[in-house]
Amino acid sequence: MFKISLSHDSFAVNQFVSACSSTGSMDYAISVFAHLQKANIFVWNSMIKGFVHWHSYQKAISMYKKLLVSPVSATSYTFSSVINAGTQVLGLSVGESIHGQALKWVLNSQVFVGTALIDLYSNRREI
């Protein structure tokens, strides 16, 4: 992909990373991601979603933490995946912390985030 100069085509890179993530080729997706000069939110979300899909919850949380210090802003899609990852691996307190971040960014009313929050609290019998 990089040999033919597609590394700057955001759409192509996102599709490629998404395909790697959905087929379990996360090592390859990580390699592509590491070579990007500027990853957009779609690529970040594909990486996080891929880690969650393959039950690599710690890696999803780690990727989210890297996103927070990047110039890219999280979206409702980011939070829906990260809430799921946080509750799977670290329990309710991490999910609540991520919920607080979603509130801060006014994303808690988004359908994807709301659904993840309902899942978070219902699984912990907090509703």
- Tell me: the pLDDT tens digits for 84-116? 787 776 666 666 777 777 777 666 567 767 777
Q: Residue 113: count other Cβ atoms within 10 Å of its Cβ.
A: 24
| Residue % of the chain over a pLDDT of 70 | 77
CA 52 to chain centre: 8
What are the chain's domains?
10-123 (1.25.40.10)
The whole-number pLDDT of residue 127 equals 54
The whole-number pLDDT of residue 2 equals 47
Q: CA-to-CA distance for 35 and 41, rounded, in angstroms?
A: 16
Q: Which residue has the higher pLDDT, 118 or 74?
A: 74
Residue-averaged pLDDT of the chain: 80
b or e along 36-51 (b: 16 or more beta carbons within 10 Å of the residue's beta carbon)? eeebebbbbbbbbbbb
Work out the average pLDDT over 68-77: 90
Residue-wise pLDDT for 12-58, tens only, equals 888 888 899 889 899 999 998 998 888 899 999 999 999 999 999 99
- Three-class DSSP category at 102: helix
- Residue linked to tokens 């957009």: 40
The whole-number pLDDT of residue 125 equals 64
Asked if 47 and 36 touch (Cβ cutoff 8 Å), the reply is no
Work out the average pLDDT over 50-69: 92
Q: What is the pTM of this model?
A: 0.79
Q: Measured over all CA atoms, what is the biggest interatomic distance in the chain, rounded to whole angstroms?
A: 52
CA-closest candidate to residue 45, choices 64, 20, 71: 64
Q: CA-to-CA distance for 24 and 122, rounded, in angstroms?
A: 29
The whole-number pLDDT of residue 107 equals 60
Q: CA-to-CA distance for 37 and 35, rounded, in angstroms?
A: 6
